[in-house]
Each structure stands twice: as C-alpha cells, then as structure tokens.
Amino acid sequence: MVGDAAGNLYGTTSEGGAAGAGVVFRIDAGGRQTVLYSFTGSGGAGPFSGVTRDAAGNFYGTTSAGGTANAGVVFKLDAAGHETVLYNFTGGADGGVPWAGVTLDSAGNIYGTTLAGGAAGPGVVYKLDTAGHETVLYNFAGGNGGYDSYAAPILDPAGNLYGTASSGGEGGTVFKIDTAGHFKVLYNFQAGADGGEPESGLIRDSSGNLYGTAAYGGSGGAGVVYKLDSKGQETVLYNFTGGADGGQPFAGVTRDPAGNFYGTTTTGGASGLGVVFKLDTSGHQTVLYNFPATPEGFSDYTAGVIRDASGNLYGTTQGGGTAERGLVYRLDTAGHATVLYAFPGDTDGSLAYSGVVLVHDPAGNLYGTTNQGGPANAGVVYKLDAAGHETVLYTFTGGADGDGPCSGVVLDPAGNLYGTTYSGGTVAGYAGEGVVYKLDAAGDQTLLHTFTGGADGGHPYAGLILDSAGNLYGTTYSGGAANEGVVFKLDPAGNETVLHTFTGDADGGHPYAAPMLDSAGNLFGTTAEGGGGGGGVIYKLDPAGNETVLYVFQGGDDGYYPVAGVTADSEGNLYGTTNTGGTTVWGVVYKLDKTHRLTVLHSFMGAADGGQPYAAPILDPAGNLYGTDSAGGIAGGYLGAGVVYELDPAGQFTVLHTFTGGADGGIPYAGLLRDSAGDLYGATLVGGDRGNGAVFKLEP
C-alpha cells in the first residue's frame, strides 16, 4: 500500500470488482473504502502488487494477466480513476506475467520485472519510457543469474537498479543493473545460514547498503533479515526460528529514521499465522503483534507494512476479516491493532479446486465444493441442477466443521455426500488439521473424523473413495510418524485405521490424491515426493496394508511430481499425469502396465497443448483418455488458462477446448466427469462471470 498526506491508503486486490479481475481502492482515515478502478480484463486483470503514486496523484502498477495478449499490462490511473494502459505484454521477447509493481524515476520512466517471457522464458527486467516504449534491460535465463523476480527493482541516485530473484544460484540472488545496462550478481544466496528465496524487494540507505528478507534458510531455517554492503558482503541481522518470533518473511522491511526495521512473517507467532516485528539497530527483535487464528482475525498474511510520521504501521492481509477475504489494518505504537476495512466475500463460494460428481439419476444434478467463499470464506458444498441453478447445500464455518475443502465429494446410494477439508477441526482456520465429513440429503453435516496432525494424519488435500460396505478411504498430505502423510480407512462408524504411514524415503511422501480401489481390495495411488529419485512414486497397498512401490519417478523424461491419482483400465493398466518433468517441464500423461513398465503417452510442451496437469485423466469404453491442464493454451506457459484434451489409444493428442480465463473459466485444477452421452463436466479455479471459477460442460 501507499499513503498520502491526508491519511488515505491506496492498494489493489487481485480478485473481486465488477468483472472479478481485481480493483484499485482507496481507504480514507475513517475506514471508508472507495473503488477507484475495477479491472475488466482488457485493461488488465489480477494485480498482485500495489501501486506507486507520483507527485501529481497518479497511480502506476501492473496486472499479472489481461491485456491484448492476456500476458499482463502496465497501467496508469489518474486522480479521477481513469485508466490508461501504458503497455501490453505479449509474453514473448518483451516479457509477460508482471507480478511485481513498478518504480518511477524523476523523468517519469518506469522500471519493473516479469516472471515469464524474454529471450529464455523466465522473465525480464524492463524499462518503459514516457511514450510507452519498452526496453528490455535484462533477460533472466535461470542459473546463477537468477529468475522469479517478484518485486520491483529500486533506484539509487546515480540511476542504478537493484533487485532480487527468488530462484537461481543456490537460493536466489541480489542483482544490480548499471546505467549502461550491465547486469551483475551482487550476492548468491546459498539457502543455508545466509538465507534463501528472497521474494521481497530491497531498501537502500544513504551509505549504499541494501536490506531485505529471505523467506527460508538461516540458522533456524525460517528465514532471515539481511544487510548487503556496497562490496556485496552479506550480514544476517536476524534469524527467524519459526516459533514465537515468527517465520518465513515473504515481504520486505520498512526502516524508520533511527534505523529500526519493521516487517511481517507469514508463519510462527502465538497462533502460527505470523507476526508484525521490529528489529532494532542492535539486532534485537520485538514482536509487535501476533496475527490471531480467528475468523475475524488477520490470517494468511503476506504483505509488508508502511509507517506514518507518528509511528503507526499499516498493512493488508489476504485472509481474515469477517468474510475471510482479507482486510486493511493499523497497528499503533502501543501494539493495538485496528481493522480499517474488511473486504466482503461471495456467499456462493469461490476457487473450485475440486471437480464435480454426477448423480446418476434422471435429474442429472452435479455436486462439488469450493475452497473459499460463503459467509466465513471457508468454502461450500454446492448442487448444480441440469438447468445450471446452484444451491448451496452447506457452508463451512472454518471452525470445528472444517475449513477449505480442496477436493470434491462422493455420493452413496442413499444420497449422502462425503468429503474432506484441508484445515479447520480442533483448531479453527488454517491452523487446524482438517476433517472428514458426511452431509445428508437435508444438508446436515456429521463429522466422521477430525485429524490431529499426529499418527492419524493431517491436512487431507485429497477426497475420498467409498466401497460397497460403506468404508471410506483417503490420504493426508502430512501427519504420521515422519509427517509425510498417511493412507487411511474410516468404517461407517467413523473409526479410523491407518493403512500406511509414508516415510518420505523409498516408499514415497506427501500424497495429494485419493487412492483407487480395485475389486480385490487393493489400493493404488501416488505420492508427489519421495522414492529413490525424489520425484514421487506409484504405489499399491494390499488389503493387509503392505505397500509395494510400482514405479519411482526419476524427474526426467518420465515426469516429476505426480500430484494426481491414477485411473485403471479393464486389463489392470494404470494411467496418470505428472505436474512437471517430461521432455520440457510441463508434465506428462503416462501408462503403467502390469509389469510396472512406464510409457509416456504425451509430454506437454506448455504451448497450445497445455501443461501442468493436476488431475488424472479419465477413460471411456473405447480407451480414449480425457483430462485437463491448468496452464498453457492460447498464450502458452503460465500465461495460458489451460485446456481440456483427448488422447486416443493410438497416441493422437487433441485439444478439445482452450480456456480464455474469461467467461468460459480458466485454470482447471480439477479433473473431468463423463456421462453416458459422452458429455464432459468439470470446474475451473478462475474465470466465469465473476472471476471466481466456473462449472462447465463440453459436448462431443
């Protein structure tokens, strides 16, 4: 955020507004909010950084998407709220997906970074002159030069630029670009005691020292505050422990005239949801405020703080507030927090991570979940009839009943629905370990199991499968003896049996997907990590709970990070996807035969064919596979909004639909459902009329 002399605060939201594409807002000293501009898509969409204000009261910033190529824009907003698009990124040599904000020089030139595009693909550092002409100052290429620059560079009085890259080297870099355009790495983080992954930008003092944070590393492994002198020598000013002092500072620091630093962390503190801290000139840290784990609180925090002349600190949160959609707060010098404004939420849900379940009755109703939305912004279970009318069957409160379902539901013959939530339970909000629930036909919820995060598991990303006896099977991402997740069974009375505890070694670790059950009672599934190559495994669990690793991903052409489960054909062959790896880095579709031989059926290029699938494909009776990709399509790579594809038995790959990210939806994390007529159904994470996702149908 930025402030003015009248006490007004200005910032952006990445969602919401008239088109669901985000807004620029003002909050006055009395806490009254005014939307200055609502992004439409053509003028940009999804601003993830704040705005920069010039002396005339104009605002400048970026959007990560939208514009003529859906690759993001640089915009100007005058004091009357009129937007001018200064530059449309193409996603090619000029860059694309500008996550960072902008820096202005005294002549009115604009400087920033992008996450994609450029000569090598991982983004650029750019300059935009007052006529809107772009000059690429540096092409990120990975390696020791770094990439993934999430923060705008800063300028010194001589016109040199300084910035950070969170990836590359060993653990990210700090770089300098001089006025002649020469690029130099000032410091390469080793991801050890010196810190790693500096996602925040820098500040500079009059002596030329640079200051910032790294989100990881340090002696406590939870991030550091660092100083870099003019010779490139790093000094760690503070090591976060991840405990009461906080951990993972993703945002940068603010410095007062006395040399004290102020900032935030995203984890640690009394509730585990981060703190606001002060670091004095001697390196002594003081926690000024602990973000509370309550629906009215300040959870899911990532942004830093600004400071006024009286010493008050101001910041924003992504979550928290009465609707759990984030808020703007003030912290006075005594450490008292005041909510200045809480953003409203959507009652019918948003962010559909999961797919839909087709009820095989004449009505053809669809059922699914959203990860957010509802009065508490903790997600909902919904029903969609054949005419497209939505009914919210249950709204999660974020407390004991669960928070943030990341998967869909299963249906029993009596019309009951069963599912999981990733968090909530014994502890409200994100600090909870999740639940398994039952929802009857009247919409009444019954808790079948509340995870503790211990031996019984914790944080189930995956949904459930149901056998003929009414037993439920699923996985948790964490918990178990090694905190690498478990496979569990729940009987109809809600008694849990842990069938397997992952170690993170040869047997795999961190499963994201539910297992598949065959007629003999064997379970088949994947883990995203572990195995000899660390790239995940495909496993089998027999009815006695004995695990056999069927395949270990090596992270090369065979794929890496299989977050999706598996689908089986009548002959016992398994089909699935990996999220990354392959001949490029965009994932693969694979087949594993009964002899445990893996064949890559398609290696995604991240272009028109899509990339980064999160769900397993489904099979039709003819042996055709159908699936979704979360990226790629029209613009390619991370700029695209994903595709729906078909892969026939001969290996012929066909794109059935390319999402635009607009009214038709975008970023389908969920898989597909196919009815007897061959129609495909699914859900997207974003897009639709309000930008919060859509449920779609594709006819053959």
Which among 500, 564, 503, 557 is positioned nearest to 531, based on CA atoms? 503
User: Is 124 a member of any domain?
Assistant: yes
Looking at 320-455, which runs of residues are DSSP E strands?
327-331, 337-342, 356-358, 366-370, 380-384, 390-395, 410-411, 417-421, 435-439, 445-450
> Considering the chain, what is the average pLDDT of its residues?
89
Residues 692 and 605 both lie in one domain: yes
170, 194 contact by CB (below 8 A) = no
Looking at residue 639, what DSSP letter applies?
Answer: G
Q: What is the pLDDT of residue 428?
A: 58
b vs e for 111-141, b when ≥16 Cβ sit within 10 Å of the residue's Cβ? Answer: bbbbbbbbeebbbbbbbbeeeeebebbbbbb
User: Is 322 a member of any domain?
Assistant: no
132, 172 contact by CB (below 8 A) = no
Q: What is the pLDDT of residue 325?
A: 63
Tens-place pLDDT, residues 406-450: 998 999 988 999 999 999 998 655 568 999 999 998 999 999 999
Residues 667 and 629 both lie in one domain: yes
Confidence of residue 635 (pLDDT cuts 50, 70, 90): low
Q: What is the pLDDT of residue 387?
A: 80
Tell me the average pLDDT across 532-553.
Answer: 93
Tens-place pLDDT, residues 82-134: 999 999 999 899 999 999 999 999 999 999 999 988 998 889 999 999 999 99
Query: Of the candidates 536, 552, 568, which is a domain's last residue?
Result: 552
Question: What SS3 state is found at 638?
Answer: helix
Classify strands 173-177 and 285-290 as parallel, antiparallel or unpaired: unpaired
User: How many domains does the chain divide into?
Assistant: 4
The burial class, CB within 10 Å (0-12 / 13-18 / 19+), for 443 is middle
User: Is 23 a member of any domain?
Assistant: yes
Whole-number Å distance between alpha carbons of 155 and 125: 13
b vs e for 261-299, b when ≥16 Cβ sit within 10 Å of the residue's Cβ? Answer: bbbbbbbbbebbbbbbbbbeeeeebebbbbbbbebebbb
Query: Of the candidates 141, 166, 185, which is a domain's last residue?
Result: 141
66, 76 contact by CB (below 8 A) = no
Residues 7 and 110 both lie in one domain: yes
Residues 19 and 112 both lie in one domain: yes
Residues 488 and 587 both lie in one domain: no
Domain range for 523: 451-552
Confidence of residue 297 (pLDDT cuts 50, 70, 90): very low
Whole-number Å distance between alpha carbons of 168 and 70: 26
Tell me the average pLDDT across 478-491.
Answer: 96
Residues 388 and 522 both lie in one domain: no
Residues 112 and 41 both lie in one domain: yes
Tens-place pLDDT, residues 187-197: 999 989 999 99
Beta pairing partners, 538:
526, 551
Q: Give Cα 106 distance to the centre of its chain.
A: 36
In the predicted model, is pLDDT for residue 300 greater than 50? no
Confidence of residue 295 (pLDDT cuts 50, 70, 90): very low
Helix (H) or strand (E) holding 271: none
What is the edge-to-edge ordering of all strands in the sheet holding 625-629? 618-619, 625-629, 643-647, 653-658
Residues 477 and 372 both lie in one domain: no
Question: What SS3 state is found at 420?
Answer: strand
Q: What is the token pair recorded at 160? A: 């040199």
Residues 506 and 420 both lie in one domain: no
Residues 620 and 544 both lie in one domain: no
Instruction: Between 674 and 142, name the one with better pLDDT.
Output: 674
User: Is 594 a member of any domain?
Assistant: yes
Q: What is the pLDDT of residue 350?
A: 45
Q: Is the dihedral of CA 563, 569, 571, 577 positive or negative?
A: negative
b vs e for 463-488, b when ≥16 Cβ sit within 10 Å of the residue's Cβ? Answer: bbbbeeeebbbbbbbbbbebbbbbbb
C-alpha distance from residue 17 to each of 53, 346, 673 (Å) = 21, 11, 31
Q: What is the pLDDT of residue 352?
A: 44
Beta pairing partners, 276:
264, 289
Residues 396 and 489 both lie in one domain: no
Residues 66 and 114 both lie in one domain: yes
